[in-house]
Amino acid sequence: MNTRFWNRVNKGGPVPTHKPELGPCWLWTGYQNHRGYGQASFNGKVMLTHRISFTIQRGRLPLAGMKICHHCDNPSCVRPDHLFEGTDSDNMRDAVSKGRLPTLIDGRTNNPNTQKTHCKNGHPFSPENTKIRMRNGKQSGRSCIICMRNSAREKARRDYVPHPRKTALTALLAKWEGKP
């Protein structure tokens, strides 16, 4: 099984420009999902190939809740020494330090907001949960999509006005009930 796995790996991948000391990436040549991660079946289960590589190398699965992250930022890379096991927040910190998360790019990089990994309500500024706000064709900030959804729901509740016919009916009923 392990030989079959490594047979599908191209060890002559690109050298990461931000960390050339890592050496070339080992690219998965088989199926990749839409986010560029390799996918294959391993012990009868479909797994991401960098997690399979980690499992083969360490002789155990990644711990529950732990992410296998890439030093090289190359999702299809399965080179064991390019991988590390970390929590979601390690991954997030790593991503921010490499500038991989959506941040402001209009030169205001010293804006402390660009360094935040979570919104004020603690939701992660992950690529899936971040909306880039634009002003005059430039990024002007980031919004948390969970919070945007919650506040839209709250506004809808606040602005809720009962249908006029219902209001009229309620008034009519009250009038009748008020009669002796």
- Binder to Zn ion among 68, 72, 95, 104 (CB under 5 A)? 72
CA distance 94 to 76: 18
- Binder to Zn ion among 9, 77, 95, 104 (CB under 5 A)? 77
Closest CA to 35 of 76, 70, 71: 76
Considering the complex, what minimum distance in angstroms separates the CB of residue 42 from Zn ion? 19
- Binder to Zn ion among 50, 51, 82, 142 (CB under 5 A)? 82
Considering the complex, what minimum distance in angstroms separates the CB of residue 25 from Zn ion? 3
What CA–CA distances, in Å, run from 100 to 50, 58, 96, 107, 110? 19, 27, 6, 16, 16
25 binds Zn ion, rule: CB under 5 A: yes
The sign of the dihedral angle between the CA atoms of 99, 100, 106, 109 is negative
27 binds Zn ion, rule: CB under 5 A: no
- Which range in 22-30, 92-100, 152-160, 163-171 contacts Zn ion by CB under 5 A? 22-30
| Residue number, 14 or 99, with CB nearest to Zn ion | 14
| Residue number, 67 or 82, with CB nearest to Zn ion | 82
Closest CA to 50 of 71, 64, 65: 71
SS3 assignment, position 139: strand
Which residues of the shown chain bind Zn ion in the complex (CB under 5 A)? 25, 72, 74, 77, 79, 82, 119, 121, 123, 144, 146-147
